[in-house]
Amino acid sequence: MRLEKIGELAAGLIIIAAFAGQSYGQTTLGARPLAMGQATTALPDNPWAMFENPAVLSEKQKSVSFFAIRYYSLPELTDVSAALAYPTTIGVLAGGAHHFGKIFSKTRIRLAYKNSWNKFHYGVTLNYNHIKQGGGYGSLNALGINVGIAAEITDDLWLAAKATNINHPKYGITINDIDEDLPRNLSIGFSYQLSNIALFTADILKDVNFPISFRSGLEVKIIEHLKARAGITTKPITFAGGFGYNAEHWGVNLVVQKHENPVLGFSPGADFRIRW
């Protein structure tokens, strides 16, 4: 048991060093968004949009989705999450939960609302964040608000923007006098349906504490229902790729992500979605 705990702590140190201060774990959820370089600000039909830009939640179908990813092939660094989107006559209601880690763990719960007028879309997310610190160091909680907008310029072109934690939330002060801000960032992006077989997405993201990051992705139809994806990010540099098979009422997506740090291995993930 002691060796297992030492291993988990060592894995935690690895991921903290890898992100060089961005030790919040993965903030982009879903195999399709990850495979497309995390360029999600204007990504249409994204069931995980409540964790990014709620304005691009789908208004067409109800859906429930499940996602898991293992960072750098380390069992101690496993993400699991679930999302539900439910369109109604007054807008889209959505909820989601995300859990990361063991000894040091993070749990996020999201409640989102999205609506539209003509071809203008808008949404807001209430996000509860809980961090549990092992070794008797207690836990931290914070409540944030995310907002997003999107516009369908044409049937093929979407422009969008989103802001994270606009209320400037902080984790509560613990016995160790830790007073930490939640990450705050602003992104703008677009998606363009290049043809009936290809979709291109791109984002520019600025975190208040880190340099500007560029993200982009490409999704290509191979055969009916089967698509291939690839993406890249900067600051930090990551590469990703994957496949997705999506029928009328269900879909499964696979992704593999690679960080620029040569010490780190590959991060495989998968999600499953049911629509009705």
Mean pLDDT of 247-259: 94
CA distances from 226 to 153, 268, 276 (A): 27, 19, 20
Query: How many folded domains does the chain comprise?
Result: 1
pLDDT at 62: 95
Six-digit token string for 60 = 């067409």
* Percentage of the residues of the chain whose pLDDT score is greater than 70: 85
pLDDT at 1: 44
pTM for the full model?
0.83
Which amino acid, residue 5? K
Six-digit token string for 268 = 């495989």
pLDDT at 22: 42
What is the domain extent for residue 108?
Answer: 2-275
pLDDT at 126 over 90: yes
> What are the tens digits of pLDDT across the range 164-181?
999 999 886 554 555 678
**What does the mean pLDDT of the chain come to?**
86
Tell me the sheet residues that pair with 143: 128
Cβ neighbors of 17 (< 8 A, separation 6 or more) are none
pLDDT at 273 over 80: yes
Mean pLDDT of 133-161: 89
Q: CATH number, domain at 264?
A: 2.40.160.60
pLDDT at 190 over 80: yes
Quote the CA–CA distance of 240 and 270 in Å, as a whole number. 13
Mean pLDDT of 148-175: 89
